Amino acid sequence: MIQDFEDTIIDTLKSVVNGSVKAYPQNPNKYFLQSAVGEVLVRYAGRSPKETDLAGALIRQEYIFEIVFVYRNLRGDKGVYTALNKAYETLQGAQVAESAKPLEFNDERFLDENNGVWQFGQKWKFINSEINTIKDGYSEV
């Protein structure tokens, strides 16, 4: 399920931002920017329960995803500012799953600059409804 959510966000961004869009690298210590323009990296950051029905069978969980923008330019059509704005305009209110509420923008901030490579991050969240299997010794709900 987490992979599906991540893939949906990646696919949604691929059509609107300059540069490549992909999942956050498995080994971030070995990551380096390969694109001439920039890269957008998407990763799952965690979840927390928000609400459960009385029987405990339906749970609503808040999922958080982080998007890291790594760009060679700050301004202009191929700069990180443009990519940040396009991502915001595209993702705000977007649906990642039938059982989920729309994506909500949570946070955006400057992360780093190193030798002219700019990094910014955005955090997005949504609430997803899930069926929870309960074993109570009598029946399975």
What single DSSP character describes residue 98?
A: T
Global pTM value: 0.87
- Residue 59 has φ and ψ, to the nearest 5°, of -125, 140
| pLDDT digit string, tens, across residues 16-32 | 999 999 999 999 999 99
| pLDDT digit string, tens, across residues 118-129 | 999 999 999 988
pLDDT band, very low/low/confident/very high, at 59 (cuts 50, 70, 90): confident
Domains and CATH numbers, the chain: 2-131 (3.30.2000.10)
Going from the C-alpha of 1 to that of each of 50, 60, 84, 130, the distances in angstroms are 18, 14, 26, 10
pLDDT band, very low/low/confident/very high, at 92 (cuts 50, 70, 90): very high
Going from the C-alpha of 106 to that of each of 67, 88, 97, the distances in angstroms are 11, 10, 19
